[in-house]
A = this chain, B = another copy of it.
Amino acid sequence: MTDGNAGTVKSVETMFAVVDVLRERDGARVTAIADELDLSKSAVHKHLSTLRNHRFAVKEGDEYRLGLGFFGYGSYVRTRYDVFRKAKPLIRELADETGEMVWLITEENGMGMYLFGDGGSLDVNVDSLVGTWRHLHLNSGGKAILSRLPEERVVEIVERHGLPRRTDATITDLDELLAELETVRERGYALNLAEDMAGIHAVGVPIVHRDRVQGALSIAGAANRLTEDRIHDEYADRLLTAVNDLELNLTYR
């Protein structure tokens, strides 16, 4: 527990290293992987064969890439989230209605992950954000989630993952974050005023079900459209209503 990787399976650890090289390089050949990881070619080859047998890697000529096996298991994991299945049609609706991006984010081990996103024109590529890990303090959905966690967990999370800065507006101080979360609790929704990406504003509302935060919905878009005023006047209420519907849906349907 104190030691990070005590009691782990080393060869699985190296397998993950191989996988990460394949991901970072968008595919690689045996020798390149062996060089990068300081492993013998034979060892790397053995790992790649193993991965291939389980469809987690594919071989194209002499180049190996990650296989669709990951997508298969990944889709399964997402589909297991009740909140995803129920939020998806709602998100579509909200995206069509507002013309902005609408996101579902959830938390695991103190980090956030976008489970689904829709809408928005060409500003941000939705698909490249889905499935990526995000620090929770950097976005409205993440802050909405944090606002519903016990303070000791928030502190724990910040200690583990830190509060990296992305823009001038990023909250990088724990006390400041805790104060902001108090505001979020009172108000019912969280803002993101260019704290992650310059020029992008957002509102986020936590999804609570059975006394647990299941995630958060958020609306994000260009700062000149999603002004602070319009968020308070229009978007926040629309989002609160949507989340309320969703929470009822989670309970009764």
Contacts and interface: CB of A to CB of B under 8 A. Distances in A.
B19 A72 contact: no
Interface string A138-168: 0000000000000000000000000000000
A115 to B, nearest CB: 8
Classify chain A: how many residues form its interface, as a range.
35 or more
Interface string A222-236: 000000000000000
A33 B84 CA distance: 27
Interface SS of A by simple majority: helix
Contacts of A131: 71-76, 79
Given A68-B78, A74-B77, 18 more contacts: A7-B45, A7-B49, A8-B53, A9-B50, A12-B12, A12-B47, A19-B73, A26-B80, A55-B133, A58-B109, A65-B80, A66-B73, A67-B108, A70-B70, A70-B74, A70-B76, A75-B130, A79-B128
A44 to B, nearest CB: 10
Interface string A12-30: 1101100100010010000
20 contacts: A5-B53, A7-B49, A8-B49, A9-B11, A9-B50, A11-B11, A12-B15, A19-B73, A23-B73, A23-B76, A55-B108, A71-B77, A71-B113, A72-B74, A72-B133, A74-B131, A75-B131, A75-B132, A79-B131, A84-B127
A209 interface: no
B16 A54 contact: yes
Contacts of A41: none
A50 B17 CA distance: 12
A61 interface: no
Contacts of A68: 77-78, 106, 108, 113
A47 B85 CA distance: 30
A46 interface: yes
Interface of A: 4-5, 7-9, 11-13, 15-16, 19, 23, 26, 45-47, 49-51, 53-55, 58, 65-68, 70-80, 84-85, 88-89, 106, 108-109, 113, 115, 123-124, 127-128, 130-133
Contacts of A51: 12
Contacts of A133: 55, 72
Nearest to A26: B80
B72 A132 contact: yes
A46 B8 contact: yes
A196 B101 CA distance: 36
